[in-house]
Chain A
Amino acid sequence: MIELIHVQKSFDGGASYAVADTCLTIPRGELLALIGESGSGKTTTLKMINRLEEPTSGQVLVAGRDVLEQNVQELRRNIGYVFQGAGLFPHHNVARNVAAVPELLGWSKELIEARSREVCDLVGLPFDDYARRIPAELSGGQQQRVGVARALAARPDVLLMDEPFGALDPITRAGLQEEFRRIQQELDLTVVLVTHDMTEAMLMADRIAVMQGGELLQVGTASELLNHPTHDYVTQLMEMPRRRAERLERLMRAAE
């Protein structure tokens, strides 16, 4: 569904590479987590998929078509995007935020209303209760639910998510993560999720791609990364959730 072929990105005319020679194939219906520290190139890689950034060299294919050969607005309207901190339009209520992309695509009023109702219900915000509320009245978790609903409204096959749950409190985050995974599987969405939280990646993703300093180090399932890490950095990354889990288990046992 998404293919990155020897993709590179330099912001300084080739002196250094934010993303260096990256190849990656994401099949339909997969949720891939891109993980790494800030500056590892994960967000830049994500943004090259819908041309918020354009590759310096190499090719990005979505559904078999080179993204650079498509109208950039059309491309973006056909790919859902969930932003860090939701990025809702503060001057529009929930209904208008959710309707943003269908409106751009010229859907009829009835169709937009019906679809908005559907996606709001899907993300757990009853349409009749929330449609007229404004972003400032919503909690962070509710805002991000609206962000997900907006990304899904135009029925995209592909969804890009840039640390969507990073700014939320742990309880809200855990709830949304589970819910989103359910939605993703239900709709058979192809998702690229950028995160710096290995626990999140392990809990949500089919496969995990580890990036460091612009290099894609290893791509694999959680168990592949655990059992056959190709780099020390990957080993370190996988250690952390394991050690925390073990500690938690000891604490829980002691408490019983």
Chain B
Amino acid sequence: MSPVLREQLLLLPEYLQGHLALTFAALGAGIAMSVPLGIVASRSPRIRHPLLATVSLIQTVPGLAILALVVAMLGGQIGFLPAFIALTLYSMLPIMRNTVSGLEGVPAEVVEAARGIGLAPRQRLWKVELPLALPVIVAGIRTAAVWTVGMATLSTLVGASSFGNYIFIGIQTRNLTAVTVGSLAAAALAILLDTLIGSLQWIAERRAIGVGLRELRRAIVLAVTLSLAFAMALVFTLKPAPKPDFIVGGKPFTEQYILASLLAERLTAEGFLVEQNIGMGSDVIFNAIGSGTVDLYVEYSGTIWGSFMRREGNPGRAEITEITQTFVRERGLNPVGLAGFQNRYALAMRRERQRSLGL
């Protein structure tokens, strides 16, 4: 095995754990909210329309934008929570929509028969309507699961680790192996979940037409339980993660990876426990340090000046340094010092062109 590949595979447990935790938590919360809401919606046409319209609307917002919005709504907090909330919102549409259409698909004469022989409304729901609607509901969960696995890769950008870490870091550092490992892992997980839930759907379908499948069912339930237990075990046992003394942040480009690693190495050398959280956009990371989810990172005076303060013009280096440091202090942050390097813009061109332009 190539050393590059081995290096990447060593990261697999951590990213898998993050990805699984996010996916299962979001899917679980999605089911817990969408099925009851779907039941309510199918009972009352007055609620159904606004409810379905709302979740459809959420669905039309691009995944990345949802993540960013949730971070903003949480006052800049990054990490597991905003990713979890965004993924949960995203998983709701297919589950809720299928719950509604599944319940509506139950033949009217069967529902009337249930009423006529004396089943109370709740008994009708549990004994007749839900079992008959279950195949359609499970199909919705299946769709949601595949979407959630895919979208979980984006949560790297708000500081929750997932297979997306492979992909984003790989793209920035031109590490094709990392990108490949991350993409394949995410795809494999999606296929696995799809197959797993697909078999549950098959069982629900057979049950809805009264086929018992006693032996087979037991086998499949066992398989599902085991894989869930395995997943849970991964999620929890792999979590040694003692609380770090410092979380070093970084934006998603090469220079920031180097800077963050330098900071982290230096702190580690001083005996601190350090965690790196790299891959956040400028606004996300600035909010993160404001809310305490990142302890330090390297920011650019130009970014503070232009992006955060929305100032234009160039009053000179000394003045910009002065003003931006004041701005940062006013937000309760501590500008530790200057990094001792600067990013400048330069123009490169052939000498003839320079002459002809008179530069």
* B114 on the A face (CB < 8 A): yes
Question: Nearest chain-A residue to B132 (Cβ)?
Answer: A91
Flag if B109 contacts A91 (CB, 8 Å). Answer: no
Among the 9-residue stretches A73-81, A122-130, A168-176, A201-209, the one with 4 or more Cβ atoms under 8 Å from chain B is: A73-81
Tell me, in angstroms, the Cα distance from A151 to B116 when the chains sit together.
10
Flag if A92 contacts B210 (CB, 8 Å). Answer: yes
Tell me, in angstroms, the Cα distance from A134 to B113 when the chains sit together.
17
Complex interface: chain B residues within 8 A of A74 (CB): 118
Tell me, in angstroms, the Cα distance from A74 to B119 when the chains sit together.
9
* B63 on the A face (CB < 8 A): no
Flag if B118 contacts A101 (CB, 8 Å). Answer: yes
* A234 on the B face (CB < 8 A): no
Q: Smallest distance from the beta carbon of B272 to chain A beta carbons, Å?
A: 61
Complex interface: chain B residues within 8 A of A76 (CB): 115-118
Query: Contact partner of A52 among B112, B131, B211, CB < 8 A?
Result: B112
Tell me, in angstroms, the Cα distance from A101 to B210 when the chains sit together.
18
For chain B, give the interface size range: 20 to 34
Question: Nearest chain-A residue to B108 (Cβ)?
Answer: A87
Tell me, in angstroms, the Cα distance from A89 to B114 when the chains sit together.
8
Complex interface: chain B residues within 8 A of A50 (CB): 116
Flag if B110 contacts A89 (CB, 8 Å). Answer: yes
Complex interface: chain A residues within 8 A of B212 (CB): 93
Interface size on A, residues (CB 8 A): 26
Q: Smallest distance from the beta carbon of A155 to chain B beta carbons, Å?
A: 14
Complex interface: chain A residues within 8 A of B123 (CB): 104
* A150 on the B face (CB < 8 A): yes
Tell me, in angstroms, the Cα distance from A91 to B131 when the chains sit together.
8
* A36 on the B face (CB < 8 A): no
Complex interface: chain A residues within 8 A of B109 (CB): 83-85, 87
* B320 on the A face (CB < 8 A): no
* B269 on the A face (CB < 8 A): no
Complex interface: chain B residues within 8 A of A101 (CB): 117-118
Flag if A134 contacts B210 (CB, 8 Å). Answer: yes
Question: Nearest chain-B residue to A147 (Cβ)?
Answer: B113
Question: Nearest chain-A residue to B123 (Cβ)?
Answer: A104
Question: Nearest chain-A residue to B106 (Cβ)?
Answer: A90
- For residues 115 through 132 of chain B, which have their beta carbon under 8 Å from a beta carbon of chain A? 115-120, 123, 128, 131-132
Tell me, in angstroms, the Cα distance from A85 to B116 when the chains sit together.
14
* B209 on the A face (CB < 8 A): yes
Complex interface: chain A residues within 8 A of B211 (CB): 134
Q: Smallest distance from the beta carbon of B267 to chain A beta carbons, Å?
A: 62
- For residues 52 through 102 of chain A, which have their beta carbon under 8 Å from a beta carbon of chain B? 52, 73-77, 81, 83-85, 87-93, 100-101
Q: Mark B169-211, 1 if CB is under 8 A from A, else 0.
A: 0000000000000000000000000000000000000011111
Flag if B112 contacts A83 (CB, 8 Å). Answer: yes
Interchain residue pairs A-B with the least CB separation, the first 6: A87-B113, A134-B210, A76-B118, A77-B118, A81-B116, A73-B118
